[in-house]
């Protein structure tokens, strides 16, 4: 039997993650471009495309495709959901950058949506992407039973709404400038604001491919751990990176007097916690054997990334 440690090491040594990510990013980029042609009124579609096609890691759709393939599904089944996840993630970035939220001028190395199209159109572009995401899954998901599609739509609605992304954002806004924000509150913010969408990204592809309840639960555990690790690394990069490397402003959290993991733990302990979360994520996938190599490598990538 191959041990978990030896498989992890094999993943690091032999699995070509850059090639894997590049190939799947190209698939996703092409699918997103096809998914959103410019129509009338042109301004709103141009604003939607401006942010949706601005590049980025495309981590959420790639995780969706990877989990589908992990349990033996055809990635074509999951591609509409993968695109929808990126639409929703883009919506969250457009809205997060608005003056009423984080008030940021740059995203992915270019001016934010409201700096190009104005606040009104930027808000509407985010709203339109959110609505279209659900329409796109329901319309274009092929060869998956309706009950699986419905399960994904329900999970996505929960991940985005008041029990997910929106709820986390509300608590985040309420915590700005508040001294001594607890670790419990900080975890709540990021398990919902960042983690919920990552969780449905990982589980949705597997659900569409017919994964068992136990398999979905293992993938959920993986996703919850990498989601929190992802945010810890984000907090670290906000302190240690540069705008050129990160593609957006740095030092925002300090300027906004936000609680962060480094502010509670310091940088070194934050790095240690992120690594421990990634190890827990890997352990959750032991039953999948060598098929889990892409997800193991993505977990390592999350703590090693520079942007």
CA distance linking residue 110 with residue 129, whole number of Å: 19
Residues with Cβ within 8 Å of 211's Cβ and at least 6 positions away in sequence, in order, are 67, 71, 219
Q: How far is the CA of 155 from the CAs of 66, 164, 167, 198, 223, in angstroms?
A: 18, 10, 15, 12, 14
Q: What is the reported pTM? A: 0.90
State the architecture of 4-304 in CATH terms.
Answer: Orthogonal Bundle (1.10)
| Model confidence pLDDT, tens digit, residues 117-132 | 999 999 999 999 999 9
Domain chopping of the chain, boundaries: 4-304
pLDDT, position 4: 45
Residue with tokens 């190395």: 109
DSSP for residue 291:
G
Q: What is the mean pLDDT of residues 167-186?
A: 92
The residue among 73, 225, 44 whose CA lies nearest residue 152 is: 73
Helix (H, G, I), strand (E, B) or coil at 180: coil
Contacts of 210 (CB under 8 A, 6+ apart): 71, 72, 73, 148
Residue 1 pLDDT greater than 50, yes or no: no
Taking only the tens place, the pLDDT of each residue in 224-240 is: 999 999 999 999 998 88
CA distance 113 to 95: 9
Cβ neighbour number for residue 206 with a 10 Å cutoff: 26
Rg (CA), the chain: 19
Taking residue 236's Cβ as centre, other Cβ atoms within 10 Å add up to 18
In terms of C-beta density within 10 A (0-12 exposed, 13-18 middle, 19 or more buried), how is residue 251 classed? exposed
Residue-wise pLDDT tens digits, 252-291: 666 666 789 999 999 999 999 999 999 999 999 999 999 9
24 touches 59 (CB < 8 A): no
Q: Are the CB atoms for 140 and 88 separated by under 8 Å?
A: no
Ordered alpha helix ranges (H), 53-118: 59-70, 75-96, 113-117
Give the chain's length: 307
The CA distance from 234 to 305, in Å, is 9
Measured CA to CA, the distance from residue 207 to residue 211 in angstroms comes to 5
Check pLDDT > 90 for residue 27. Answer: yes
**Confidence class of residue 177 from pLDDT cuts 50, 70 and 90?**
confident
Beta bridge partners of 107: 110
Name the nearest CA neighbour of 230 among 262, 190, 268. Answer: 190
């Amino acid at each position: 039997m191959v041990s978990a440690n030896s498989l992890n090491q094999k993943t690091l040594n032999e699995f070509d993650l850059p090639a894997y990510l590049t190939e799947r990013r190209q698939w996703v980029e092409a699918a997103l471009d096809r998914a959103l042609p410019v129509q009338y009124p042109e301004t709103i579609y141009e604003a939607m495309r401006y942010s949706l096609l601005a590049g980025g890691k495309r981590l959420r759709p790639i995780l969706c495709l990877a989990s589908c393939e992990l349990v033996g599904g055809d990635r074509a089944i999951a591609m509409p959901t993968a695109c929808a996840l990126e639409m929703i993630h883009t919506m969250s970035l457009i809205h997060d950058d608005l003056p009423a939220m984080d008030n940021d001028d740059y995203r992915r190395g270019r001016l934010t949506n409201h700096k190009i199209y104005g606040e009104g159109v930027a808000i509407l572009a985010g709203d339109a992407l959110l609505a279209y995401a659900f329409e796109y899954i329901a319309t274009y998901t092929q060869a998956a039973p309706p009950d699986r599609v419905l399960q994904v739509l329900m999970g996505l609605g929960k991940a985005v709404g008041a029990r997910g992304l929106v709820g986390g954002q509300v608590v985040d806004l309420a915590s700005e400038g508040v001294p001594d924000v607890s670790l419990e509150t900080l975890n709540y913010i990021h398990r919902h604001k960042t983690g919920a969408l990552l969780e449905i990204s990982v589980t949705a592809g597997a659900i569409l491919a017919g994964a068992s309840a136990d398999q979905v639960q293992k993938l959920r555990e993986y996703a919850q751990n990498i989601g929190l690790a992802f945010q810890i690394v984000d907090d670290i990069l906000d302190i240690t990176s540069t705008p050129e490397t990160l593609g957006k402003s740095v030092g925002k959290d300090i300027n906004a007097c936000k609680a962060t993991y480094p502010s509670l733990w310091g940088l070194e302990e934050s790095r240690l916690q992120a690594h421990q979360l990634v190890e827990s994520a890997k352990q959750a996938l032991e039953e999948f054997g060598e098929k889990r190599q892409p997800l193991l490598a993505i977990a390592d990538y999350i703590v090693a990334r520079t942007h």
